[in-house]
Amino acid sequence: MGIYRLTRSIILLSLFFLFMIFPSTALSDCIDELDDLVGYTIVDSKTITGWYDDDEKEEGSFNGCSHGRAIRFSDGTRLICAEYGYMYAYRPTAIILAREILFKGKKLYDIKMMVEDEIYDMRR
């Protein structure tokens, strides 16, 4: 009975430390990502229905961004990737963020797209 209690205590203590370490690491990563988005406004939430570029296309999934790749959404709109980043998700939700920039008297928008835990630079 004593060895059972000792083993159980060690397992519970190990699990406690595991849960204490990993959530704080994930939270730290999240804070670093969000820190880069200060000044941006969430302008939309959309479902990605596919993508296409010069060489290929795919329906229903998201395989990340390649420079110039068009990302299609369920409302019929699209955004163009301005950078490279790989991930895979089936019909994920994308959060669209924008920040207004004044340049020579013209309003321009810097656009970001967040899919799961990745942030991509985008353009219209």
Q: Which of 108, 84, 83, 78 is nearest to 96 (CA)?
A: 78
81 and 59, same structural domain? yes
104 and 51, same structural domain? yes
Calculated CA dihedral for residues 74, 80, 82, 87, nearest 10 degrees: 30
pLDDT in tens, 11-30: 555 555 555 555 555 555 66
76 and 46, same structural domain? yes
119 and 93, same structural domain? yes
80 and 64, same structural domain? yes
18 and 51, same structural domain? no
Structural domain for 24, as ranges: 1-35
Distance in angstroms (rounded) separating the CA atoms of residues 68 and 47: 19
* C-alpha neighbours within 13 Å on the C-beta side of residue 77: 10
pLDDT in tens, 27-85: 556 667 777 888 899 999 999 999 998 888 888 889 999 999 999 999 999 999 999 99
